[in-house]
Amino acid sequence: MIRKKLIAGNWKMNKSATEAAPLAQEIVAAAGRNTDVDIVVCPPFTALETVGKIIDGSSIKLGAQNMHPEASGAYTGEISAGMLRDLFASHILLGHSERRSYFGETDAFINKKTLAALKNQLRPILCVGETLAEREAGTTLKVVQTQIEGGLEGVTKDQVTNVVIAYEPVWAIGTGKVATTAQAQEVHAFIRGLLVKLYGDAIAQKIRILYGGSMKPSNAPELLAQKDIDGGLIGGASLESRSFLELITAAAAVK
């Protein structure tokens, strides 16, 4: 089973709409016709419309970084799945460790968002990963299992092929510390096994599992060559077109 590689850029709270435009233009110019790799960019909310217009007609897809599970109502400061669809977003990051740690998001809340995203034809990129303390305590796999089972509760076999999982060890995010290929592949294989248990082998083999955490052009080829690493969720190296494009090239080169 060959899973098409996916490279997603999480711009986090970087790039105003004005700053986002040239970055999106550079990505479209260099990779807008690339069909070897799926490419998603996730700008902040305020740049979604600008970036959406620039990538329109190219093979680059638009993702948002967060949403609220309800369709509308008195939730000051929040944004719904329908609002994101209206801006032609196709993907949504859910459960990023920064949302979990700084904004107190629980697996139950992330699960509500996952179900709402799927109902609205948004493809969730469900982020999971252990902290350094959890890794040192030997609980990595247990933590990841809880996050995946919690996040996917009630997601049907038909729906789950639209979900992407991103394994992002918290200690590797923005720190320059990257998981070794063996550490990453071990967790990815564990996640694949868990998906087999939850959904059966045929479906589990279709679900992409991305690695995130200081992925850059220098370490990407080795990580992307691992059997269960189906792409990358990129923070820092997605903020500059050159490094992001090099990551796309690295993903396309994996046979």
Q: Is residue 124 a contact residue for ligand 13P (CB under 6 A)?
A: no
| Active site annotation includes 96 | yes
| Active site annotation includes 168 | yes
Distance CA 204, CA 37 (A): 20
Stretch that binds ligand 13P, among 71-79, 137-145, 166-174, 180-188 (CB under 6 A): 166-174
Chain positions 5 to 24 lying near ligand 13P, rule: CB under 6 A, are 10
Among 44, 52, 151, 235, binds ligand 13P (CB under 6 A): 235
Contact letters for ligand 13P, residues 126-165 (x by CB under 6 A): ----------------------------------------
Which residues, in sequence order, are CB contacts of 203 under 8 Å at separation 6+? 157, 160, 161, 195
- Of the pair 193, 221, the CB lying nearest ligand 13P is at 221
Range list of H helices, the chain:
17-31, 45-55, 81-86, 97-103, 107-119, 132-136, 140-151, 157-160, 181-199, 201-204, 220-224, 241-253
- Among residues 68, 96, 134, 188, the one annotated as catalytic is 96
Single-letter amino acid, residue 69: P
Measured CA distances, 119 to 70, 113, 185 (Å): 11, 10, 31
Stretch that binds ligand 13P, among 84-92, 147-155, 218-226, 229-237 (CB under 6 A): 229-237
Single-letter amino acid, residue 150: G
Contact letters for ligand 13P, residues 72-111 (x by CB under 6 A): ------------------------x---------------
Using DSSP, state whether 166 is helix, strand or coil. strand
Q: Which of 11, 66, 20, 25 is nearest to 47 (CA)?
A: 20
As annotated, the active-site residues are: 96, 168
List residues near ligand 13P by CB under 6 A.
Answer: 10, 96, 168, 173-174, 212-215, 233-237
